[in-house]
Structure 1
Amino acid sequence: MSKNQIASELSAPKHIAIIMDGNGRWANQRGLPRIAGHRAGAESVRRTVEGCKNLGIKHLTLYAFSSENWKRPESEIKALMQLLERFLKEKTKEMMAHNVRLNAIGRTDMLPKKTCAQLNKAIEKTANNTALTLNLALSYGSREEIVDAAKLIAEKVAAGKLSVDDIDNSTISSHLYTAGQPDPDLLIRTSGEFRLSNFLLWQLSYSEIVILDKFWPDFAESDLYDAVTHFHSRQRRFGAI
């Protein structure tokens, strides 16, 4: 099914989440340094954002840098942060032109000051855009997110602002980094790996999952359209018959 057919005949998922896996292996296969894979992956991000906007998808969450990624060599982390800064600086104009709002989820206070400054600048610049919300998961771990939410809730209970008996699923959701956004309808993971890797564990409870046996730099708009078409072939019962 073509892009135009999807846009006209099928209702778009409200929210797509993607685990962008395989940059390093893509580079290794070509005898290139790992950072070359990350640079190629950044181009896939651009294609994917454009594709989601064309399909009318309102929320896109990309797993860009996990809390576990801090364990990587210092040289690679430094190169990744520089790549992120350059991406934000270069793409903010495009986000403005395409009415894309940038948001970040994760413990972003752990990012280098220069990176944080560029990130916050892009977030502020695009704050009023409405076509698509692009969530970059940076220094992100879902278990850490749930811990942070639990602490916020506990603080409100201790202060008498919230009763223990009033805590339910919506209370947890409203204290997560993604508060105010719908849970992902569809999760896409590249590189053929079958695991969630500490990504949106709460939010993905009822998401459909599509695994692609290709590395993230090779992810094309056609792969996005195929995944959305596959999503619409599924029957989503949410526990019912």
Structure 2
Amino acid sequence: MISAEYEQEYWPTIQNAIDLLLTQSIGHRGLVSFENVYSCVYKCVCKNYSERLYHDLLFEVKIHWEKVNHELEVKAGQVLVKIFDSVLKQFESSLRGLIPLFTYMNRYLESRMDTDLRSELCRSFTSVLVDNHVNRVIGALEEAQLSAFTVPPSTVFSVVSGLYSLKREYVSLAPYIFAKYIPNVLPPMSVSELPLAVEETRMFQQNLIESGFSRGDQSKKRTGDSDILSKYYECFFPNSL
């Protein structure tokens, strides 16, 4: 294969598939011919164009993510969180299409560069886009915690889990938000931290009440619950009653 053959015959087909996978609706694969693109990638790898294909792929996805990055710069608050959630989901969807298409190139990365395509794409996506907005997104989530359901819990979970899967260091930006949705993110709670946990629960319940949620019929509380709770506090907080 000569350079002109790669540039005129193989790369345009692969490039078109990349652009479609980065932008088309989640779950929709009808516009990409898997067999055709897979064959192009296979031929490029067999003819020693793996490295060039790898760099062209990363450059193509970087261009797309830089465009999305600029679009997010003008968003804020709940709107930012909602769009950022969509971007994370779109990224995961594109990975499910890109990685199978580049299976043969991925073997080259694993054998020659001691890495893999998923890791490289996640690293690029994180550095080009996520790192630029994660502090604002976390700030919007923290603000939303002050008022119940300002941002739907399902959206918060989606964003938090998406960030955690990309880079676990993001936990340090808002440990207690991550801990609400990711098991075992924080070390086990100590006895000294129980009063704070109780106060956070009380404030959350108060926010729910102020938002119009009723506490229901308190007469239906199980008999003996108050006694059990009193004994619990007597054990751990003998001076608080």
Task: Verify same fold: TM over 0.5.
Answer: no
What TM-score, normalized to structure 1? 0.25
The structure richer in strand per residue is 1
